Amino acid sequence: MDKKSTSKRAILDLQGDLASRGLNVTLKIHGRGDSSPIQSKGTLPAAPDLVELLRSHWEEKYRKLGPTRALSPKKIHKKGLLEERVRECRESAKQLRDRFQRWLNSEGMRSLENSLRSELDREDEIQFVIATDDDRLQKLPWCEWDLFETYRYAEVALSSPEFDELPGIQTEARSYVRILAILGNDKGIDVESDRAFLNKLPQARVTFLVKPDRHQVNDRLWEESWDILFFAGHSCSEGDTGRIYLNDTDSLTVDELWHGLRKMVDGGLRLAIFNSCDGLGLARRLDDLCIPQMVVMRERTPDRVAQDFLRYFLAAFAIENRPFHLAVRQARERLQGLEAELPCATWLPTICQHQYAQPPIWSNLYRSAERKAKTVQPKSIFQVDRKGITLMGSLLLACLGGGLLLGPRISDFFNDRGIKQYRNNRLQHAKIYYQLAIGFNPFNHKPYYNLGWQCEQQFHDIPCAQKYYQKSMSLGSSSARASYIRSLLLHDRDLTKALKIVEEGLPFVKYKGDEASLLKSRGWIFFEQNRWEAARKDFEDAIELAEDSPHTYCLLAQTLEKLARFEEAKLAWEKTLVHAENRIEEQASCIALAEKRLKGDRDRS
């Protein structure tokens, strides 16, 4: 955020019945340091037609769209039928949104809305809490209230009107965020992408439980303290509770986890993320545990929505260091790009919280002995603070005063220092050192490459990464060429451009590892073009040069299957697992695919 704001909380307490009697509404506005809130009262009329629109939209229009993170995904519809259902769902969403906004603009809300607009400034940072236990009110798309067009630093959350006092949070010194990540039943969905995103978090120690049994989950809840609980897989609401599916045979309701989860809360749990379907039932039953903040999905959720939301949220929360509720809003609104094919994507991620929980900030989830009492957090991914600029300027002046002939050696020194800072997750310091390296020798390809790698791996900023890769590549770096090609294949899907860059680089490559990477990339391109024999040859040549790449074996195995050479493919799948190290994004899915293929072979035998 680029402004100085006041932190405020607006709580809208709703009592009554939407379908018959209407609602009594109480608004409380808390400002920082207020001894007592500002209060206002209003009413909302009964709206049985809104109740019916809400039901028909979710049950009759939205749920017919296709596969989600529900346990039994429906078959994909034929293209024409799917397009028709997408259109119907989009029209239904518009009708629901318009009727919802008219209901909120009713006469009984005028004085209450005037209070909101008089007490809240546009630049205020606002937690807007809807306090209700009515599941129909919780299902309404509160993010579509036109009020939020005015307040860009506000996000809506759901809460129970009745609550216990929040437990105290333990603050023992540590230099990392403790995350327990449960990857459950993944039939028909890709939870390995969730795992890859979590693995890239700075200052985090992530413990994964992959398709665990009940005993494993229970032990982890009791044996350690955690800051964040994460679940990805299938889940559902069952009346007033929720169920998560751990593996192919085991599932748990919240009641069956209650004591372990309560222990987590007592041990300092700050946030729970359920990146799975239909999570309001989970949130309702978890309410009496006093988990400060949760993110759940309001309805059944397409796999693409779940993956993209997690990626966007973690970038805003853990990398940009935005307050939790504003990181959710940013990530949720970025899902709008999917709504042409997946209507209502921006309605799905939902905060459920204790009424008076403060939104956490990533850097406050850990306490580092190296960190001073006040730490200035970057306002954006690659903004250097004043101290860094002063340091850079002073050292550059020293360089000019000391003689430019030492530039290349000093450049390498600062590049090495940047690498050390990067490994210690001091990302802004790393960036400063890389820029210093460039200042002393603008023809040194290494710091450009390292800046590109940092952009891609830590900040998921692909245009930034490609810019630095191209610069490093122009100065002769084969590693940058390989990384740029990989980025084109993974993110841009530009096969023609990628092939051209491979062909340009192969005659001049110096090292076996770089040649292997380029050959693998060319084979990958041929594979995507259905040129199986050419792909096979490149993969086998790449393996002769570098035998430890699980991704190359994975691609070779898939190519051999296309060529109906199944025994050789099985050997390649086995090699994929032998060399599995899960170092880069595409390897995680390859390793999972290898395990699945080999398990299928064992089951058939």
Query: Is there a contact between 201 and 314 (Cβ–Cβ < 8 Å)?
Result: yes
| Pairwise CA distance, residues 77 & 58, whole Å | 18
Following CA atoms 233, 361, 491, 335 in sequence, which dihedral angle do they give, to the nearest 10 degrees? 70
Residue 334 has pLDDT above 80, yes or no: yes
Region 189-194: mean pLDDT is 86
Please report the pLDDT score of residue 167 as a whole number. 61
Residue in the block written with tokens 């002995």: 369
Give the pLDDT confidence of 513-562 residue by residue, as tens digits: 878 888 988 998 898 888 999 999 999 998 998 888 888 888 999 999 99
Burial class of residue 246 in the structure, from the number of CB atoms within 10 Å of its CB (0-12 exposed, 13-18 middle, 19+ buried): buried
Please report the pLDDT score of residue 122 as a whole number. 87
Residue 107 has pLDDT above 70, yes or no: yes
Residue 381 has pLDDT above 80, yes or no: no
Residue 567 has pLDDT above 80, yes or no: yes
- H/E segment holding residue 564: none
Region 224-230: mean pLDDT is 91
| Pairwise CA distance, residues 472 & 292, whole Å | 46
| Pairwise CA distance, residues 124 & 218, whole Å | 41
- H/E segment holding residue 351: strand 349-353
Please report the pLDDT score of residue 214 as a whole number. 87
Region 338-362: mean pLDDT is 92
Query: Residue 26: helix, strand or coil by DSSP?
Result: strand
Whole-model pTM above 0.85?
no
Query: Is there a contact between 103 and 50 (Cβ–Cβ < 8 Å)?
Result: yes
Query: Which residues make beta-bridge pairs with 39?
Result: 28
Give the pLDDT confidence of 45-90 residue by residue, as tens digits: 999 999 999 999 999 999 888 765 554 444 445 566 888 999 999 9
| Pairwise CA distance, residues 475 & 480, whole Å | 10
The per-residue DSSP string of 65-104 comes to S---SSSSPPPPPPHHHHHHHHHHHHHHHHHHHHHHHHHH
Region 79-102: mean pLDDT is 91
Confidence of residue 161 (pLDDT cuts 50, 70, 90): confident
Q: Which residues contact 262 (CB under 8 A, 6 or more apart)?
A: 289
Please report the pLDDT score of residue 6 as a whole number. 66
